């Protein structure tokens, strides 16, 4: 049996030990930093463990989920207040208001507080129109005037009869911006 001996220069073994020890220190430093960052993120609310809820959940389970989830989202996105309604089979089955109607006066939001829905109506309207397109009820390239029963475009120098549903949805009718009408006319 022969023994293989490796000749190591004096001092080389010491340098290898220092290198190895240095790498271990860096590994512990990185691990500790990562764990510390996760703890800080969790405690600050920016890291949340998101539990999903199924579409078959009972109403009381859904309400409990929303009561935890919505305030966290509001904090994360700096939303002062929101009001939510759940509609099932064309009936409102749950409403809840979170946060403030007026932050400066600390007036809390209620489900009866009037709210402006802002631009969300654009996407909801577009979704509804596209559902009608899928069912063959509306043609995107047809004149919008043929579908308007109780409302007419205001008088204009532009030919409004040629404005299509597609142009309205894409905000792509150049003459429309020159039409002057008040919101009361639409309502």
- Compute CA distances 119 → 7, 25, 125, 149, whole Å: 78, 54, 10, 24
- Residues 132/138, Cβ–Cβ less than 8 Å: yes
| Structure-token pair, residue 137 | 């009820």
The mean pLDDT value for 19-35 works out to 80
Q: Considering the chain, what percentage of its residues have pLDDT values greater than 70?
A: 75
| Nearest-angstrom CA–CA distance, 89 and 110 | 24
Stated pTM of the model: 0.47
52-87: per-residue pLDDT in tens?
A: 788 888 989 989 999 989 999 999 899 999 999 988
pLDDT of residue 130: 94
Tens digit of each residue's pLDDT (9 = 90 or more) over 98-127: 999 999 999 999 999 998 877 788 888 899
- Cα gap 128→71, rounded to integer Å: 29
pLDDT, residue 119, reads: 77
Largest CA distance in the chain: 108
> Residue 30 has what pLDDT?
87
Instruction: Report residue 54 as tokens.
Output: 């199924």
- The pLDDT of 165-180, averaged and rounded, is 67
């Amino acid at each position: 049996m022969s023994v293989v001996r490796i000749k190591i220069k004096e001092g080389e073994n010491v340098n290898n030990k220092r290198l190895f020890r240095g790498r271990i220190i860096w590994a512990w430093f990185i691990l500790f930093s990562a764990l510390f960052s996760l703890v800080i993120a969790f405690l600050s609310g920016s890291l949340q463990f998101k539990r999903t809820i199924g579409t078959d959940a009972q109403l009381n389970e859904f309400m409990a989920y929303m009561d935890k989830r919505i305030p966290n989202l509001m904090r994360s996105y700096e939303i002062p207040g929101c009001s939510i309604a759940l509609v099932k089979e064309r009936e409102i089955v749950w409403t809840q208001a979170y946060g403030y109607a007026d932050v400066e006066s600390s007036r809390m939001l209620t489900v009866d507080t009037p709210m402006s829905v802002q631009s969300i109506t654009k996407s909801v309207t577009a979704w509804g129109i596209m559902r009608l397109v899928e069912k063959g009820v509306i043609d995107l390239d047809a004149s919008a005037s043929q579908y308007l029963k109780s409302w007419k475009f205001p008088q204009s120098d532009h030919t409004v009869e040629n404005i299509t549903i597609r142009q309205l949805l894409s905000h792509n009718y150049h003459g429309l911006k020159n039409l002057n009408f008040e919101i009361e006319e639409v309502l």
